[in-house]
Chain A
Amino acid sequence: MTNDYQMLSKTAHKNLRVCESKLHDLQVATQIAPVLITEVDRLAAEFSLFFSKNSQTGDFVLVALLGFSDNENLFLADGQWQSSSIPLAFERHPFLIEQTDGSIFIDMQSPAVSTTEGERIFDDTGEASAYLQRKISVLEAIYNGAEPTQQFIKLLQEYNLLEPVKLDITFANQSQQSIDGLYTIASERLAGLAEQAMINLHKQNLLQPCFLVMHSLQHLQALIDKKNQRL
């Protein structure tokens, strides 16, 4: 899918509308979704969280596992989310926030964007509509969460707390699959962490996310069950 992000402008984009239901193919087509540290509390209740590497830079990112093959999102059925909450990364579309200066962009190539269908983004007076305001709060949450998420991952690497996990799964129909490229918190190393490092994590409120990420692995079985139901 190609994108054409333009900086959002009250004048140039005055008459645009967004039809949210047309966004779904963006969501279906993904096996993992980026997660911010500010979302871990909420998402760890339903999703298995891991770390994986950005394919362009090799940098670690925090992600939720949504499926077992390239384009599989098992949390969606008939275009509807089956979970009680979803990662912010899905809610931002068709907008984007620039991490450097916070400017907002809209994807003119998105099938959801037109002048005819869906919610208006600016009202008659040219001010942000209630819809856009909701979107802006999502974008701001992403903007504010990005830096602490990176800081979290940086510390985990510094304290050598990441370790690779390989998932070897046998589904109900006996087909097998292994998934590489996922990492989690090294629980033994966390338990044996030097006092100073432990205190440092604790003071920055990063200890709880560590335990939540480890704990979230228990949802893997539920995800396998979801897949089995579809076989």
Chain B
Amino acid sequence: MTNSKISSILIVGGGSAGWLTAGIIAARHGQSVKISLLESSTLPTIGVGEGTWPTMKTTLQKMGISETEFFRYCDVSFKQGAKFCQWVTGKKDDFYYHPLTLPKDFLDINLAPFWLENPSDSFSNSVSFQEAICEKNLAPKTLLMPEYAAAANYAYHLDAGKLTEFLSQHCQQKLNVQHIIGTVDEVLVSEQGDINSVKTQDGQSYQADLFIDCTGMSSLLLGKALNTEFVDKSDVLFIDRAIATQVPYESEDSPILPYTLSTAQSAGWIWDIGLTSRRGTGHVYSSRHMSDDQALKQFSDYLGKPLKETTVKEIKIPCGHRKEFWKHNCVAVGMAAGFLEPLEASALVLVELSANYIRDQLPENKAIMPIIAKRFNQLNTHRWNSIVDFLKLHYVLSKRTDSQFWCDNRDPQTIPDSLQELLQLWQYQSPYMHDFLYKEEVFPAASYQYVLYGMGFDTQAALAMSSQQRQRYAQSINENKQIKQKALNSLPDNRTLLNKIKTFGMKAI
């Protein structure tokens, strides 16, 4: 490997991962590094993945995208968190929220131990105002607020197909990304293990200093060409199938839910995401615990209309990730790196985090690439493991006994040691900032609190609390009540605001 600068990057694959990565890197390096994206016109993108994290706001903003144009093009709606129904007891009225707004004053005070002493209202309702506005289908901002500004933190629901079109246009027109059409059928690897070039079916060959594998589940470069081992996690997380379908709204003014609805079933769960144009829904389940027929039946029952196999899209979903994510001059982003069930919409946020890292650490010269690769691998191994733990937590805390799926999920054999350790810790102290080792954790401590206490986990906080601390707690809780009231009075109905954004747009300032 020579001591030369990295002057060209080839991204292979034009799904959400490919175009997000292209945009994120090109917004910084588009003028100094040649960035190209090669994608097949015959192999489809996965076409699902419609819920994001709030990180997407910054990601789009940094690419220089107008939020109004994004809303209009991709049928975007607001996502203020997830509402989990029937996850704890399975009864009709069983639900809790994982909102995107941090608990009140989270960076100054951990309210959880105080709330645990006297949990009169739900945890999320006590420490945040977002559950209340979600229950009323309100938007997280007003029309007068600038683009990307929020009264309540939000992420997006979006049309996955339109997202790639939208990003593709932006990347080509504004960010100097070169778009190449072609289906790769051969990857040429040097003796040292670097990728020299990729060849397409039409006989063209493309070289680059750095290859980014965004080929989705096929993991063509990192997985196939460089033979990187797949670390299977299906002994922890059982979901391995998805059936998805799009549902029209009943009428033009049916409410658009400002959160992702996740309803547990007997061997999986159903997602329900409201865009401005339609709902996107799907049933993910464990084929070891439920037959495809049963899954279809439960999905039909949920939607209140009979579904046929032909009207749903079937996807076999892997569970796990590559052992290394960056090997020689090839790094994988998106499903080429791995995939876990979409329970907390962790896939796109991981794409953003990975692409940010590549952008920030883009090796000044090729000699230091192995060091950067090593660090990237350490960080990502940690990230994937903590996502596995966090997703598993949702199943471990369930009290459902109505099927083998739920019981198997609580079998200690299936719970990673790292999670068992955390659960032990949390018996005596609630998750807070110091529990987490990395600055950029995918899920912050607040998320763990919302899930733990939303699902009824009991932490026996034994620390004595001073009267000043108690006062401070009472003050935060009270202020949250006031903010809640104000938000309920001032925020507009979600669909109403989304319609206005279509008509009038939001201003940049």
What is the interface of chain A, defined by CB distance below 8 A to chain B?
53, 55-60, 157, 162-164, 181, 183
Flag if A58 contacts B509 (CB, 8 Å).
no
Q: Does B504 contact A (CB under 8 A)?
A: yes
What is the interface of chain B, defined by CB distance below 8 A to chain A?
143-144, 500, 503-509
Alpha-carbon separation in the docked complex, A48 to B206 (Å): 62
Flag if B144 contacts A53 (CB, 8 Å).
yes
A-B contact pairs, 21 of them (CB 8 A): A53-B143, A53-B144, A55-B143, A55-B144, A56-B143, A57-B143, A57-B500, A57-B503, A57-B504, A58-B144, A58-B500, A58-B504, A58-B506, A59-B504, A60-B507, A157-B507, A157-B508, A162-B509, A163-B509, A164-B509, A183-B509
List the B side residues contacting A56 at CB < 8 Å: 143
Alpha-carbon separation in the docked complex, A183 to B505 (Å): 18
List the B side residues contacting A60 at CB < 8 Å: 507
List the A side residues contacting B508 at CB < 8 Å: 157
Nearest chain B CB to A201 CB, angstrom units: 19
Closest A residue to B505 by CB, please name it.
Answer: A58
Interface SS of B by simple majority: loop
Alpha-carbon separation in the docked complex, A157 to B504 (Å): 15
List the B side residues contacting A57 at CB < 8 Å: 143, 500, 503-504
Closest A residue to B504 by CB, please name it.
Answer: A57
Contact of A181 among B144, B500, B503, B504 (CB under 8 A): B144
Alpha-carbon separation in the docked complex, A59 to B144 (Å): 8
**Interface hub of B144, B500, B503, B505 (most chain A Cβ within 10 A):** B144
**Interface hub of B503, B506, B507, B509 (most chain A Cβ within 10 A):** B509
Extra inter-chain contacts (8) besides given A55-B144, A157-B508, CB under 8 Å: A53-B144, A56-B143, A57-B500, A58-B144, A58-B500, A58-B504, A58-B505, A162-B509
List the B side residues contacting A183 at CB < 8 Å: 509
List the A side residues contacting B509 at CB < 8 Å: 162-164, 183
List the A side residues contacting B504 at CB < 8 Å: 57-59
Alpha-carbon separation in the docked complex, A53 to B500 (Å): 14
Nearest chain A CB to B150 CB, angstrom units: 14
The 10 nearest A-B residue pairs measured at CB: A58-B143, A57-B504, A53-B144, A58-B504, A58-B144, A58-B507, A162-B509, A164-B509, A181-B144, A58-B506
Alpha-carbon separation in the docked complex, A59 to B143 (Å): 9
Nearest chain B CB to A50 CB, angstrom units: 13
Closest A residue to B507 by CB, please name it.
Answer: A58
Closest B residue to A57 by CB, please name it.
Answer: B504
Alpha-carbon separation in the docked complex, A118 to B503 (Å): 42
Nearest chain B CB to A47 CB, angstrom units: 22
Nearest chain B CB to A100 CB, angstrom units: 17
Alpha-carbon separation in the docked complex, A67 to B12 (Å): 59
Alpha-carbon separation in the docked complex, A59 to B500 (Å): 11
Alpha-carbon separation in the docked complex, A164 to B144 (Å): 12
Nearest chain B CB to A207 CB, angstrom units: 21
**Interface hub of A53, A163, A164 (most chain B Cβ within 10 A):** A53
Alpha-carbon separation in the docked complex, A55 to B144 (Å): 7
List the B side residues contacting A53 at CB < 8 Å: 143-144, 507
List the A side residues contacting B506 at CB < 8 Å: 58
List the B side residues contacting A58 at CB < 8 Å: 143-144, 500, 504-507
Closest B residue to A180 by CB, please name it.
Answer: B144
Nearest chain B CB to A194 CB, angstrom units: 18
List the B side residues contacting A181 at CB < 8 Å: 144
Nearest chain A CB to B489 CB, angstrom units: 14
Alpha-carbon separation in the docked complex, A162 to B143 (Å): 18
Closest B residue to A186 by CB, please name it.
Answer: B509
Nearest chain A CB to B486 CB, angstrom units: 14
Alpha-carbon separation in the docked complex, A181 to B508 (Å): 13
Nearest chain A CB to B366 CB, angstrom units: 40
Closest B residue to A52 by CB, please name it.
Answer: B144
Nearest chain A CB to B319 CB, angstrom units: 44
Closest B residue to A163 by CB, please name it.
Answer: B509
Nearest chain B CB to A187 CB, angstrom units: 15
Alpha-carbon separation in the docked complex, A162 to B509 (Å): 8
Alpha-carbon separation in the docked complex, A183 to B144 (Å): 12
List the B side residues contacting A59 at CB < 8 Å: 504
Alpha-carbon separation in the docked complex, A172 to B507 (Å): 36
Closest B residue to A53 by CB, please name it.
Answer: B144
Alpha-carbon separation in the docked complex, A153 to B508 (Å): 14
Nearest chain B CB to A115 CB, angstrom units: 40
List the A side residues contacting B144 at CB < 8 Å: 53, 55, 58, 181
Alpha-carbon separation in the docked complex, A163 to B504 (Å): 20
List the A side residues contacting B500 at CB < 8 Å: 57-58
Alpha-carbon separation in the docked complex, A57 to B500 (Å): 7
Alpha-carbon separation in the docked complex, A157 to B143 (Å): 17
Nearest chain A CB to B483 CB, angstrom units: 16
